[in-house]
Amino acid sequence: MKKEKTYFVCQECGYSSPKWLGRCPSCGAWNSMVEEKEIRSLSGRVEIKTTPKPLHLWEEQRAIRLSTGFESLDYALGGGIVKGQVLLLAGEPGIGKSTLLLQVCEGFSKLYGPVLYVSGEESPSQIALRAKRLRVGSESLLVFPETNLEEILQTLREERPSLLVVDSVQTLYSSSLESSPGSVAQVRECTFRLSEVCKELNIPVFLVGQVNKEGVLAGPKVLEHIVDTVLYFEGERFNFYRVVKAVKNRFGESGNMAVFRMTGQGLEEVQEPSAFFLQERVGSPGSVVFPHTEGSKPVLLEVQALTIQALYTTPQRKTQGFDPNRLALILAVLEKEAKVFTRDRDVFVNVVGGVSVEEPAVDLAVALSVVSSVKDKPVGDLLIFGELGLSGEVRSVHFAQERLREGLRFGFKRAIVPEGCRVELQGLEVLGVRHIREAIEFII
Ligand code: TYD
Ligand code: MG
């Protein structure tokens, strides 16, 4: 028999080392190494025998799409769920993951037959209470309070549901490992084995992943490469907007999002997100409209900046829905290249609606919203997008046509875009700019 090896695994990033270390050399976290037994037992794993075939024969097994019951979520998933698909729904506690999935289960069970909802976080009576509130109660929605992986796998083989939901993956444990539930080893092993069996049985599965404050998946990023699809559930907890973004998708385009509203009876789909996000916009100085997209379906968002005389020697830079380091860089470019000074001012930037924007196309919108606030001059109904380079140059971005069309659909008449993205569109005056200075000239 082989000697059992132990090793130390960082609970933040999954880095492993044969010795204990006070600080993880990979992610820099302190005191994050936990001793774990080596994962060996490959026995009991399913081996699916496959043979090489030409590509067109593979393609014939075209995926049939199953509906989640929410049109925009289906769209964000590339047309719905595929049998055997492993989806991770990640988000902070209290954002609405269990609510959304219970609603998906209800619709699914009516259309495709029994659904298995495995809950390790809430008791069946708590789920029943929520179900009552959501007015769901399909006979074929089976609730199973279990956290042992082997039990779940067995039940899965017996019941053969049309969909499996595991809420949450951090509560699962496999008897073959000694580490505690929620540890990297457990979360990784459970996800891996669940996805293997779901693929074998052709059952799609939603795994709920709790995310902590820093925005990393607790037990964490290590899951993203195992699953087929990663959905991020975002929004401000005290606000009613919720956004589900497909950040990774092996079965369709990624980057698209579905927008929901949290009501007293669960989540309601927002059909026209652009209208929804702009409905309360007043257009005061510092407010600009940015057509956001990481997929091919843009959504108009309001970006707001507020700048005021700083009280302290180190002025504040605070952002919501936007990277504060990126803001610091934009402020530096504005100062150096356009002589817009903010070093004695506090600067606050907010993307309205709880959406967080990572794509660089938002740079120009942020820069011009800051300028508009500093000069105390509203920009009016103007679409703005473009990436900002360190010398103040405005760079081209993806999906320019789609972004402009979305603006046109909502009655926008003018747009400031990178010169390389300028297109002729009837009814829209598209102003191409090469440098931040040119863009500023248009608004002041
Ligand atoms: P929940 O789905 O439990 O969040 P998660 O599973 O991500 O932790 O949702 C929790 C919040 O949603 C809770 O604060 C109450 C609110 N909520 C509503 O506003 N309306 C509803 O119909 C439901 C079921 C929940
Ligand atoms: Mg929950």
CB within 6 Å of ligand 1 — which residues? 91, 93-99, 130, 133-134, 262, 264-266
CA of 95 to the centre of ligand 1 (A): 6
H/E segment holding residue 7: strand 6-10
Distances, alpha carbon 111 to alpha carbons 27, 40, 62, 115, 288, in Å: 45, 40, 20, 10, 43
Read off the pLDDT of residues 106-118 as tens digits, 9 standing for 90 and up: 999 999 999 999 9
* Cα of 125 from ligand 2 centre, angstroms: 14
Per-residue pLDDT tens digits for 43-71: 445 455 678 888 777 665 567 899 999 99
Tokens in use for 434?
Answer: 């090469």
Per-residue pLDDT, 51: 82
CA nearest 420: which of 408, 409, 402, 432?
Answer: 432
Least confident of 46-60, 294-308, 404-418, 422-436: 46-60
Residues 6 or more apart whose CB falls under 8 angstroms from that of 311 comprise: 346
pTM metric for this prediction: 0.85
- Write the CB contacts of 298 (distance below 8 Å, at least 6 apart in sequence): 274, 291, 292, 399, 402, 403, 406
119-127: which pairs have CB atoms within 8 A and are 24 or more residues apart?
119/143, 119/144, 119/145, 119/167, 120/145, 120/146, 120/147, 120/166, 120/167, 120/168, 120/171, 120/172, 120/181, 121/167, 121/168, 121/171, 122/98, 122/167, 127/98, 127/102
Mean pLDDT, rounded, for 163-168: 96
Number of the ligand 1 atom closest to the C-alpha atom of 100: 2
Q: What whole-number distance in Å separates Cα of residue 335 and Cα of residue 332?
A: 5
Query: What pairing do the DSSP bridges indicate for beta strands 6-10 and 33-37?
Result: antiparallel
Q: Would you state the pLDDT for residue 439? A: 97
**What percent of the chain shows pLDDT beyond 70?**
93
What pLDDT, in 10s, does the model give residues 362-403? 999 999 999 999 999 999 999 999 999 999 999 999 999 999
Residue 169 pairs with which residues in a beta bridge? none
Ligand 1 centroid to Cα of residue 175, in Å, is: 31
Ligand 1 centroid, distance to 282 Cα (angstroms)? 30
Percentage with pLDDT > 90 across the chain: 69
Q: Is the pLDDT of residue 352 over 60?
A: yes
Centre of ligand 2 from the C-alpha of residue 120, in Å: 9
**Candidate from 92, 99, 261 with most ligand 1 atoms within 8 A of CB, to mutate:** 99
Whose structure tokens read 């579905």? 258
Q: Which atom of ligand 1 is nearest to the CA of 91?
A: 7
CB atoms within 10 A of CB 358: 15
Tell me the DSSP string of 185-203. Answer: HHHHHHHHHHHHHHHHHT-
Question: Which residue's CA is the nearest one to ligand 1's atom 17?
Answer: 266
